Structure 1
Amino acid sequence: MQEKTVNQKVSLPVLTEKQVSLTIKREDLIHPLISGNKFRKLKFNLIEAKKQGRDTILTFGGAYSNHIAATAYAGKLHGFKTIGIIRGEELSGKWEANPTLQLASEHGMRFRFISRDDYRKKENPSYLKKLQSEFGSCHIVPEGGTNTLAIRGCEEILTPGDAYFDVVCCPVGTGGTLAGILNSAFENQLILGFPALKSDFLSEDIRNFALKENWKLITEYHFGGYAKVTAELIDFVNEFKQKTQIPLDPVYTGKMVFGILDLVKRDYFFPKTKILAIHTGGLQGIMGMNILLKKKNLPLLSV
């Protein structure tokens, strides 16, 4: 895998009109499955697991979790067994029809499907201890991969050459990627996070890991909540790919780029502002998303 990623400049009429430059850091090109922040978050967790002599990685996720797919592949690549604690006991016996879980299974991951009530215990120490006793001495990675080791990995996203940019934008799920970027950001930069879900607790979570205060959450582009999409968002993602040749995922990066360009239209940024947007990968989930979109009679995403 190639850890160093390219910065790709975007050319669109609205950017020229408003005299704002937008560049996308193509973290999605690190690897087809372990891409973007998934790779960054797992890197030091795998190093630590090996250091501690653990042979199994256990983690949590939903049915279409990119983190689940990435953990399965990374585990196979680096010689770990992997276990996925999956939200939704109704998936037991039906998961073969799910492209994300099927992919994870092909790379050796074993699943435990649990109720949503039990899933809420995923950070409860006694519940984690119970899993440890059941599955043996495994290295537990939280849902979405965010812990102190993950933050350390995300601190490697920005490079010295990125000091050129005035604003750095990042999609936000659990807040770990944003915290890592904040910790390595340059003094002149404003860091904007675009949450993909409705949440009142993200700011507090980010402050638990972040060392700086030069950041802000832009909360009006979640399109209804986590993994919620609309025909408007789908059309935007498809059109953006057609115009720029850059694919976006609808859960995270699509919402962020939609938000950035809407803010540009509304003169949120001063002329001459140089924006860097972090592409956090997640493209493998498009196939699963299209299955859901088809059921809802919504337009499909270009693959």
Structure 2
Amino acid sequence: MIQQIHFSEITSKGVSLFIKREDELHPFISGNKFRKLKYNLLEAKKQGFSKLLTFGGAYSNHIAATAAAGFEFNFKTIGVIRGDELAANIEEVKKNNPTLKFASEHGMEFHFVSRSEYRTKNSTQFIDKLKEEFGNFYLVPEGGTNNLAVKGCEEILNENDNQFDVICVAIGTGGTISGIINSAKQHQKVIGFPALKGDFLQDEIRKYVQKNQNWNLNTNYHFGGYAKISEALITFINKLKTETKIPLDPVYTGKMLYGIVDLIKNDYFSRGTKILVIHTGGLQGIEGMNKLLKNRKLPLIN
């Protein structure tokens, strides 16, 4: 579903803003995770695997979505989670961490590793060690990005979206924007809004894209990184939801929309531009973020 965004802060700018509600594709395998997992699950079934193993942080959308997908499509799931300190009292952790609680309730088995060990997760030695412990599994990369994930994300845009001049999407690992770049039309510009600091994603995206002229990254709206948030961002997310009824997550879509609105207010886009924003889901992360915000005595996300 595509919904027009009527937001008071940009009404005078003559720019039309629309949002593609990919968050409504599935109640638990939400947004770009649905797209990224689609062909990976088909390939895992084709190759005869009964187990999926993947990686993520303790509040990862990808961990939650993989657990839900495994539950729905009859795969055992194993989550390699960054932070071995979490293993000390897993029942207490699950009680206080909505993401891990959800994943556990959907059958995911956890394997907690130290942050230094986690950095070696792509090494043959590390994968071999996991195979010794868990047997044969289909490996889904952190964030779900691989060639099959990009193929799934190429299906986000369709012919109805040809009317738009600019396509905007939040970025974690680069798979979603790569698929969008590949399926965007020549007259369309794709802008990515990374959730992490730094410009390293350019090279990652170039591994998957067939076009190099129609996209760029705006690295000004990460707010310091994944779990970083400010009172201004919370206020923006809540105000936009009040005016439009569209919920945004604080890690990806909230920061992206904040950036887009800021660019519109500063006349970055010419009058008459039609912008399509991709809502990549991630709403499961709100509950966990609100627990952190409450501890910091900051306003909560509605």
Normalised TM-score (structure 1)? 0.96
Deviations 1:36-62 (A, max 9, x none): 001111111100000000000000000
Deviates more, 1:141-150 or 1:128-137: 128-137
Note the C-alpha offset of 1:167.
Answer: 0.2
Correspondence for 1:273: 273
Asked if the contact 2:78/2:109 (under 8 Å) is kept, the reply is yes
Asked if the contact 1:32/1:284 (under 8 Å) is kept, the reply is no
Correspondence for 1:42: 37
Correspondence for 1:204: 203
Asked if the contact 2:199/2:219 (under 8 Å) is kept, the reply is no
- Alpha-carbon distance in 2 for matches of 1:272, 1:125: 52
- Alpha-carbon distance in 1 for matches of 2:298, 2:42: 42
The code of the aligned residue for 1:301 comes to I
Deviations 1:23-48 (A, max 9, x none): 00000011221110011111111000
Note the C-alpha offset of 1:297.
Answer: 1.1
The code of the aligned residue for 2:48 comes to G
Note the C-alpha offset of 1:71.
Answer: 0.4
Deviates more, 1:87-96 or 1:239-248: 87-96
Q: How much identity, in percent, do the aligned residues show? A: 61
- Alpha-carbon distance in 2 for matches of 1:129, 1:49: 18
Correspondence for 2:86: 91
Root-mean-square deviation over aligned CA pairs: 0.9
- Alpha-carbon distance in 1 for matches of 2:146, 2:125: 18
- Alpha-carbon distance in 1 for matches of 2:198, 2:144: 18
Tell me the secondary structure at the aligned position of residue 186 of structure 1: coil
- Alpha-carbon distance in 1 for matches of 2:58, 2:8: 38
Correspondence for 2:263: 263
Note the C-alpha offset of 1:137.
Answer: 1.3
Note the C-alpha offset of 1:66.
Answer: 0.8
- Alpha-carbon distance in 2 for matches of 1:32, 1:234: 24
- Alpha-carbon distance in 1 for matches of 2:255, 2:151: 25
Note the C-alpha offset of 1:87.
Answer: 0.2
Asked if the contact 1:21/1:274 (under 8 Å) is kept, the reply is yes
Tell me the secondary structure at the aligned position of residue 58 of structure 1: strand
Structure 1 residues 14 and 99 mapped into 2: Cα distance closer, same or farther (>3 Å)?
A: closer
Deviations 1:233-269 (A, max 9, x none): 0010011000000000010000000000100011000
Asked if the contact 1:175/1:206 (under 8 Å) is kept, the reply is yes
Deviations 1:63-107 (A, max 9, x none): 000110110010010000000000001111242221100100000
Correspondence for 2:133: 134
Correspondence for 2:291: 291
- Alpha-carbon distance in 2 for matches of 1:10, 1:144: 28
Note the C-alpha offset of 1:211.
Answer: 1.1
- Alpha-carbon distance in 1 for matches of 2:128, 2:181: 32
Note the C-alpha offset of 1:128.
Answer: 1.4
Correspondence for 2:103: 104
Deviations 1:266-287 (A, max 9, x none): 1000110000000000001111
Asked if the contact 1:158/1:184 (under 8 Å) is kept, the reply is yes
- Alpha-carbon distance in 2 for matches of 1:228, 1:237: 14
Question: Superposed, which structure 2 residues align to 1:69-84 within 5 Å?
Answer: 69-84=64-79
Tell me the secondary structure at the aligned position of residue 191 of structure 2: strand
Asked if the contact 2:168/2:193 (under 8 Å) is kept, the reply is yes
Tell me the secondary structure at the aligned position of residue 234 of structure 1: helix
Tell me the secondary structure at the aligned position of residue 209 of structure 1: coil
Paired residues, what number?
297
Asked if the contact 2:172/2:194 (under 8 Å) is kept, the reply is yes
Note the C-alpha offset of 1:129.
Answer: 2.3
Asked if residue 66 in structure 1 is aligned to residue 61 in structure 2, the reply is yes
- Alpha-carbon distance in 2 for matches of 1:140, 1:199: 27
Q: Which runs of 4+ in 1 moved over 6 A?
A: none
- Alpha-carbon distance in 1 for matches of 2:199, 2:187: 28
Note the C-alpha offset of 1:132.
Answer: 2.1
Gaps of 5+ in 1: 1-5
Deviations 1:163-193 (A, max 9, x none): 1000000001111100010011111000000
Correspondence for 1:178: 177
Correspondence for 1:31: 26
